[in-house]
Amino acid sequence: MTASGGPLAGVRVVELASLAPAPFGCMVLADLGADVVRVDRPGGPGAGRLAAPTGGPLQRGRRVTALDLKSPAGVEDLLRLVERADVLVEAYRPGVTERLGLGPEVCQTRNPRLVYARMTGWGQDGPLAQRAGHDIDYIAVAGALEPLGRAGERPHAPLNLIGDFAGGGMLLAVGVLAALLERERSGVGQVVDAAMVDGSALLTAFLHGLLGTGLWAAPRGRNLLDGGAPFYDTYATADGGHLAVGALEPAFYAALLTGLGLADEEDLPDQYDPSGWDELRRRFTARFAERTRDEWTAVFEDLDACVAPVLTPGEAHRHPHNAARGTFVEVSGEIQPAPAPRFDRTPTALPTPAPDPERDALPVGEILAGWS
């Protein structure tokens, strides 16, 4: 990667330190070239509560300062940063920044062009706005958790990818970018209310389309994309590895049968006849168990069958496609996902390591001097 700064070079972001979703959104902004300054509490970003990680990919690309936002001096220092910032990101419960004297009205009085981005689980209003929660709760209420899991089993949360990161941090970044673009027309900023329950619901748009047309009518684990179809599932291999199979279209399905050596078996059930899915799954399961994951990967290497090895996070960077594209990068000896997407004219730079709050904390005056 060449160090041009990325398409958001020159955008100034003040981030009030928090956990997972907002740091991920700010990581995306920093990856794209924004100058992100994280404001920690005295003693570190997690002082007084569940500790926020001070290193790793979610905290990369930042500068850091520490302010006591319960003191008048700390509030005034933050407002001095706000005066010269483009974006403020906070992830407190609704009303907390107002009680600190740092709510949108105060901040946008000091800087009318400020985009004030708020990251919460339940949103700024509604019956649950003041309730605690985590990813699993937000995706449950959004209707994104119930469809996930095997037939006859309880719903299974897919890590915290849907609520915290896709429906949370990524939605926050999209909201900030949209508000910055609109500001170019209006000249003024606005408040972005990014709620994980809203974002998780948004991610189910395709599923709602299937529901509306009757194409998602079976119980959990019995539908086309939830492990119900034997040609859209994962299979164990002889060495304990797994293959992912996504042979939805007839041409890909035909290639799958070819690779498995089943193309000439005339008694195979029809691909899209659900009454034969259990039999197809039995045959696929038995056949995949005959070879290792890497042996099957080699079999399907030249077949357009939508079959891929299931890689662990620690293996993914070594896959030839990921290696060729630079999908992962090394930052201070740690393998991390590379910034995305990619830009031909304003490419992003290699991310800088996460700052150490004790070693790298900067005085507010030094940050402001660079923002003059």
- Percent share of the chain, pLDDT over 70: 96
Least confident window among 4-18, 46-60, 338-352:
46-60
The pTM of the whole model exceeds 0.75: yes
Residues designated as active site: 134, 164
pLDDT, tens digit (0-9, with 9 covering 90-100), for 218-238: 899 999 999 999 999 999 999
Structure tokens at 323: 């290696």
pLDDT-based confidence at residue 50 (cuts at 50, 70, 90)? very low
Domains and CATH numbers, the chain: 12-203+339-370 (3.40.50.10540), 232-316 (3.30.1540.10)
Pairwise CA distance, residues 1 & 57, whole Å? 17
User: Whose CA is closest to 231, among 254, 265, 208?
Assistant: 254
Distance between CA 105 and CA 360 in Å, rounded?
31
Pairing of strands 87-90, 328-331: unpaired
Per DSSP, helices labelled H in the chain are: 21-31, 72-84, 96-100, 104-110, 135-141, 171-186, 196-202, 205-212, 250-260, 277-288, 293-299, 320-325, 364-370
* pLDDT, tens digit, 9 for 90 and up, residues 113-134: 999 999 999 999 999 999 999 9
Q: Comparing C-alpha atoms, which of 114, 134, 34, 365 is closest to residue 97?
A: 114
